[in-house]
């Protein structure tokens, strides 16, 4: 906290100079996409900031009102394109809630495994690009190597490398092939070893800690006020994980896993390093979940028999509405769907975690240095495809 007080700007100060307006983005490597932040700076110190979003706006909600329930699944891929499986899962669960059906048991376990694999892949991007933001280029390549293994694993059942469109309402699109689970388990063993290397490379690096500890502190009340979710909320000391607290998939009840919470190891609770470290530990929790889930995948159908018709005749849920939320790598992804009996919903609202997590940025930036601002944006781990939808 001392660091923050040091940077307070006083207009009556002798060293106070003229304010400069600075445009960070929309094309800037540190903004992780097309985010534009208008900054007012006094020397190196940010005095005011204003986010300008919408550069990637595709009106996905309008598209959702014009396509059928099944056809919207590939569009959810393109919101948070680093965690397509989780987005598919959230949408499928919403449609299932609307229809009142439940996926077969085998599909549920497969969903858990693919969702956790994708969570690791997404956190790997957060880890790698955060290193680049701070100035460490090497970890990025290590992160992408493991992400490549995950993409190769997810490619085998789904048939695509990034935009999977694999989890459909009523189950999953294809069954997993023989030997896939063994390969997933082998990946888990390998990843555990690699994860220790990441920590040597970046997590415990003194320069990295110096750049991230005590920077961008989000207190607990502020985190809840801004509706932050996911690792950003947990880093502020709130133990809130939808997988544990509102289990949306039956297998999560049977699985044992911890919810990592920020501890303020190297500085204040809720600083950039805590957010980073929560993500790193979450990867290992996902590995733990996958290890438990793989041997327990039961035999049986992977798609609900009645739901299989949806490929030929569009789904027609009864009039009603459903809000379903899932724990995505970035936080709570919620879909609020209002049906009025047609083959497409009349409202298809997406509560995007990145959108809410980004809204805290304007409150965090004033009083920090520009270079710390980059560290703060990186630690929020936003995906602009989801912010703008």
Partner 1 sequence: MNETDIHSKLAGAVVSGVGALDESAKDPFVVVDPGSLVPAVTFLKNDADCRMEMLNCVTAVEREDCIEVVYHLSSVTHRHSLTLKTRVERPAGGTHESWIPEVPSVAALYASADWHEREQWDLLGVRFTDHPDHRRILLPEEWIGHPLRKDYVYPHEHGGMPLDLDAVPLYERDEATPSEPAAPRPSGTPLVQPPNPNSDRPDAGGVAPADSDGDLRSIKPGSNDGGGH
Partner 2 sequence: MGAIRDYFGNISSALTTAAKGMRITWRYFKHEPPITIQYPRERVEPPPSYRGLHILQQDKCIDCHLCAKACPVDCIEIEAIHHGRTLEWKQFSIDYKKCIFCEFCIPVCPVDCIHMTSEYELATEDPDGMVEDLLTWTGLRPEDQRAVEAAVNKKKGVAAPATIESAKGAPEPGSAEDKAAKIAAIKARLKKGSA
Residue 202 is a binding residue for partner 2 (CB under 8 A) = yes
R_g of the chain computed on alpha carbons: 21
List the one residue from 43, 74, 210, 314 that touches partner 1 (CB under 8 A). 314
CB 65 to partner 2: min, Å: 13
CB 180 to partner 1: min, Å: 34
Count of residues near partner 2 by CB under 8 A: 34
CB 339 to partner 1: min, Å: 7
Residue 190 is a binding residue for partner 2 (CB under 8 A) = no
Residue 174 is a binding residue for partner 1 (CB under 8 A) = no
CB 274 to partner 1: min, Å: 18
List the one residue from 18, 206, 256, 298 that touches partner 2 (CB under 8 A). 206
Q: Does an H or E element contain 22, and which?
A: strand 20-24
Residue 218 is a binding residue for partner 1 (CB under 8 A) = no
C-alpha closest to that of 248 among 332, 175, 318, 168: 332
Say which entry of partner 1, partner 2, none residue 158 contacts (CB below 5 to 8 A, set by partner kind): partner 2
CB 34 to partner 1: min, Å: 12
Cβ burial of 156 (10 Å; 0-12, 13-18, 19+) is middle
Name which of 200 and 313 has its Cβ closer to partner 1. Answer: 313
- Own/partner pairs, 322-326, CB within 8 angstroms, 24+ separation: 322/94, 322/97, 322/98, 323/94, 324/90, 324/93, 324/94, 324/97, 324/248, 325/90, 325/242, 325/246, 325/248, 325/351, 326/86, 326/89, 326/90, 326/93, 326/242, 326/248
User: Whole-angstrom Cα distance, residue 200 to residue 140?
Assistant: 14
Residue 71 is a binding residue for partner 1 (CB under 8 A) = yes
User: Whole-angstrom Cα distance, residue 251 to residue 237?
Assistant: 26
Q: What's the angle, vertex CA 218, arms to CA 376 and CA 205, rounded to 5?
A: 50
Of the candidate spans 2-10, 27-35, 153-161, 182-190, the one that interacts with partner 2 by CB under 8 A turns out to be: 153-161
C-alpha closest to that of 133 among 385, 380, 378: 378
List the one residue from 4, 163, 259, 370 that touches partner 2 (CB under 8 A). 163
Q: CB neighbours of 267 closer than 8 A, spacing ≥ 6? A: 213, 214, 217, 273, 274
Residue 207 is a binding residue for partner 2 (CB under 8 A) = yes
Query: How far apart, in Å, are the Cα atoms of 216 and each of 3, 62, 77, 257, 376?
Result: 10, 35, 30, 28, 6
Of the candidate spans 111-119, 282-290, 298-306, 320-328, the one that interacts with partner 1 by CB under 8 A turns out to be: 320-328
C-alpha closest to that of 369 among 214, 223, 163: 214
Q: Which neighbouring-strand residues pair with 350?
A: 335
Name which of 162 and 222 has its Cβ closer to partner 1. Answer: 222
Say which entry of partner 1, partner 2, none residue 339 contacts (CB below 5 to 8 A, set by partner kind): partner 1
CB 127 to partner 1: min, Å: 26
DSSP letter, residue 304: -
Residue 292 is a binding residue for partner 1 (CB under 8 A) = no
Of the candidate spans 35-43, 157-165, 229-237, 318-326, the one that interacts with partner 2 by CB under 8 A turns out to be: 157-165
Say which entry of partner 1, partner 2, none residue 265 contacts (CB below 5 to 8 A, set by partner kind): none
Note whether 75 and 60 are within 8 A (CB). yes
User: Which residues of this protein are in contact with partner 1, per CB under 8 A?
Assistant: 53-54, 57, 59, 61-63, 65-68, 71, 97-98, 222, 224-227, 238, 240, 245-246, 314, 319-323, 325, 332, 334, 336, 338-344, 346-347, 349, 351, 355-356, 359-360, 363, 388-389
Q: Residues interacting with partner 2, by CB under 8 A? A: 67, 70-75, 138, 145, 148, 155-160, 163, 165, 173-175, 177-178, 197, 200-202, 204-207, 210, 311-312
């Amino acid at each position: 906290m001392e660091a923050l007080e040091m940077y307070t700007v006083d207009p009556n100060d002798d060293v106070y100079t003229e304010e400069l307006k600075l445009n960070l983005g929309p094309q800037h490597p540190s903004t992780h996409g097309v985010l534009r932040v208008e900054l007012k700076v006094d020397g190196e110190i940010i005095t005011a900031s204003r986010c300008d979003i919408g550069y990637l706006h595709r009106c996905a909600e309008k598209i959702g009102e014009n396509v059928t329930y099944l056809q919207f699944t590939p569009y959810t891929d393109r919101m948070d394109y680093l965690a397509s499986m989780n987005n598919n899962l959230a949408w499928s669960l919403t449609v299932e809630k609307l229809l009142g059906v439940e996926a077969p048991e085998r599909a549920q376990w497969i969903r858990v495994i693919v969702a956790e694999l994708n969570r690791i892949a997404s956190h790997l991007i957060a880890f790698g690009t955060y290193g680049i933001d701070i100035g460490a280029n090497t970890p990025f390549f290590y992160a992408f190597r493991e992400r490549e293994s995950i993409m190769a694993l997810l490619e085998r059942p789904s048939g695509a490398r990034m935009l999977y469109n694999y989890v459909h309402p009523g189950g999953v699109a294809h069954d997993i092939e023989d030997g896939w689970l063994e390969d997933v388990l082998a990946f888990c063993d390998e990843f555990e070893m690699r994860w220790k290397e990441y920590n040597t490379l970046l997590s415990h690096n003194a320069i990295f800690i110096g750049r991230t500890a005590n920077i961008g502190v989000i207190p607990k009340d502020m985190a809840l006020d801004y509706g932050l979710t996911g690792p950003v909320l947990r880093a502020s000391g709130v133990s809130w994980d939808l997988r544990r607290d509102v289990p949306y998939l039956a297998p999560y009840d049977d699985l044992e896993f911890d919810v990592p919470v920020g501890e303020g190891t190297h500085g204040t609770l809720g600083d950039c390093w805590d957010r980073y470290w929560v993500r790193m530990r979450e990867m290992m929790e996902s590995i733990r979940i996958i290890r438990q889930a793989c041997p327990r995948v039961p035999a049986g159908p992977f798609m609900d028999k009645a739901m299989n018709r949806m490929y030929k005749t569009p789904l027609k849920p009864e009039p009603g509405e459903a809000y379903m939320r899932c724990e995505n790598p970035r936080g709570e992804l919620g879909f609020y769907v209002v049906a009025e009996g047609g083959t497409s919903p009349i409202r298809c609202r997406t509560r995007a975690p990145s959108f809410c997590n980004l809204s805290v940025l304007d409150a965090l930036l004033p009083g920090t240095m520009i270079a710390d601002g980059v560290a703060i944006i990186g630690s929020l781990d936003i995906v602009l495809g989801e912010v703008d939808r």
